[in-house]
Structure 1
Amino acid sequence: VVIADTPMRSFLKRIIGHSGYWSCERCIQKGLRLTFPGYKKPVIQLSDVNAPRRIDSEFLNYIKGDDTEDNHVNGLHDLSPFIDLDFPMISGFIIDPMHTMWAGALE
């Protein structure tokens, strides 16, 4: 199991960061870009609570394949070193509460 904050998890897994459209690490859904008056940056909202789940075996096949259509990965030339270890890329990484709950609620 790997314990890392959100930016480090994205770096280690070589996936799109938490501000990308396809940023959810546990499900497959495209977020919506929202802007709020007085807020400096747009935010990505993931609203489908019933979106299909990402599964370790499917993710490994997907990331190694040529059909990465949802832009969740950074690219075939920058694959995670964990791929060679057949490490569980979904269940093997713990999602930290700081960036998912506390930082988002307090910004």
Structure 2
Amino acid sequence: MTITNKQWQDDVALHRYQMIAPLLSEDLDNAKRVALRKKIAADNNTTIRSPYRYEAAYKAQAFTGLRPVDREKRQHSLFRKISENCFLKQSSFDGKSRNDP
């Protein structure tokens, strides 16, 4: 059984949602919310910042915001930028090598 990239992203997003679900209650005051974030971070062996980020991502983009970024696309775009940059530098040498007089 193979897990596709989208399935993996959905599984991670579901885990993140389950982590922050108690924080989404409207009747929590700020002190309870901060204490709950600390408890969630400790229970999930993560930093206190993670529940803040997940909660903000959920409020901004709903469940989609909790999915991890597709690193493959990011690497390809970075590789493309590096390749273009190398090409530009190479073409700026007027076709002469360093050993040419």
TM-score by length of 1: 0.28
- In terms of fraction of residues, the more strand-rich structure is 1
TM-score, L = length of structure 2: 0.29
- Which gives a bigger RCO, structure 1 or 2 (Cα 8 Å, sep 6+)? 1
Kindly name which structure, 1 or 2, has the bigger radius of gyration based on alpha carbons: 2
